[in-house]
Structure 1
Amino acid sequence: MRRLATAVGLGAGAVALPALSGTAEAKAGDTMRTGAKNTAGDAQTALQSDGSAPSLRIENTRSKSGPAGGEVDLISPQLQLGGPVPSADRPQLPDVRNLPAGAIGAAGGALLLGADLGLGQAIPVQVHTSAMSNLLVPIPPASATVFDSAAMSADQRAAFPVGSFDDSGRVAPGTRVPVSLRPLINSEKFAQPAAACCGFTVGAADYSGAVSVHASADLPGDVTVCSYTVLPKEATANGQPIAFAATASATVPLDAVDALWVSVSTATHLKIQVAAVVLPDPSALVEPAQPSPGLSPAARRTALQRQALREMVGGLPNGK
């Protein structure tokens, strides 16, 4: 633990003073000391208490003004877990075979908590952090439509790969069309891919077909997310095909640059609306640099925190 922290052993009735410094050689069961490093080899570190009061309280009152126009305070970590000892190139996981309720196991980027779920034993539960979690965020209806071939101008269609549309402006069959969600999210700083909860609406097709999504422009494989039916002209009274409008929804993965790759099996107009996005971290949301003045005090506070985090990670390399 860092010198800035104050550790109070409430259950044991002992106070660890920050005046102690340097590196300590500790054995299993020794007192934990602030301002020093306890090296216990392969031994597990555990906190025990005979009472109902917390065994450990960690406080940090030192702060400084930070990003977001100086409206967000930054504090040093109250508790830092040291990294595991490297083990060649093998992946690492916490040893949770005997993890008691309330204990924390950390290794290889995974953090697990022993939680008693009332099953007669402690069950390891993953702690959701920004490194290993996802957040479902609803999208305002005003921003939901990310693609609508029927409403596109010629200039807008020209921004897509050649062959994406037929002469009437419908999505052409057999071509993977990228639909960027960057107006809504930017997850490039995180290793985990984002996903989108989408509604697909098709119409004006001449033949029945399906809408599929893909992992990228060239990776093999596809997933059908919407099927549509067209009554052929041979079976209609006026000799014209009748396309039945079809709508379906699906949660689909995005690529490394937050794009959805979609294709159709027959030419049709396609509209895609996003109801929600699945993010690795809330700071991946695309928001104004300054929160809207209409936000409540609590909403403004969280918006400033997201903006501050975006500024802090802005200089880091992309995670994907």
Structure 2
Amino acid sequence: TFKNKKRVQKQGCACKSGRMTMSPPSSPNSDTNSCPLVENLPPEIHLSILTYLRAIDLSSLQKTCSLFNTRSLITNVIHHTATVIYPPSLTDGFDTPIIGGEVTSNTEFLTYESLRNMEMLVVARILSSPEPSLSRGEVGFYVSKSWCRTALQWLEVQQETRLHSLEALSSSPPSSSSLTKKKKKKLSKQQRLQHRKASSATAPPPNANDDLLCEHFQLRPHNSKSARARRRIMDKQAWKVLKRLYPDTTQLEWSHGECLQCAMETETTRRLEMARKEKERQKRKEPLSCSFVRAFYTRSRGVPLHSLTHHHHH
């Protein structure tokens, strides 16, 4: 879902390196792509429909019709999402400078970039929260720990990249005479480290549980130690948020357990292996079916004189 997008037209919204930028919305009358049928719907209906979408979807919709490119509608969508769609504890601070960057006089209104920042903040908070202790009968969902690590690393890189860009825009370029060779070398080293970290971070897959699925698209069986290393549990509220932002994620309920078909196949394989070993054991015991051979091998000491044949030499 967090994919790079190409730069779009002036009134559009783009996503580049995890960042979304948008020019100030224009008046609906200035755009020929009007939507007369949609315009007749009440604003409450617009708000209800739009808040089901993610920032990347809204930015695409914004380019199709000038009706969806108005400041008041964008601001209402973002505020409604922050206070109603997501729990306020997860969205608190999304519009602060540390999260959304410094606000300038040219952008004193919320844009879908703010909604994008909110979504990244929400994902980071639910993935960083401790696992709940669920008892029998409670609802919980499995999520891949490997996917969580990948997502957190990618979100961290996106945040650092955005902050570095904001710092570069806000700071005035120093004169070349004031920069020493040591300073240049230090900046170059920091940039190399940043590029190396950014290149190693990849966007998380759309399905957060892809590596937990078996061939039957159910929870793959593992022993208890391996399962704890591969899975984490989310409560119902956190899962609802994650599913909204990553709708392709396969739902794996904690109470349903592992794939029954895989368990049956594993049990069948185990029984066949036991039968094979028993057959080999019986084959090794075939020479002992002879009483004389068995008596020889089971004797613990001495020489069986009664079993020896004496030959007389002339």
Interval containing the TM-score (normalised by the shorter chain): under 0.3
Please report the TM-score for the alignment, with normalisation by the length of structure 2.
0.19
- Specify which structure has the higher proportion of helix: 2
**Higher radius of gyration, 1 or 2:** 2
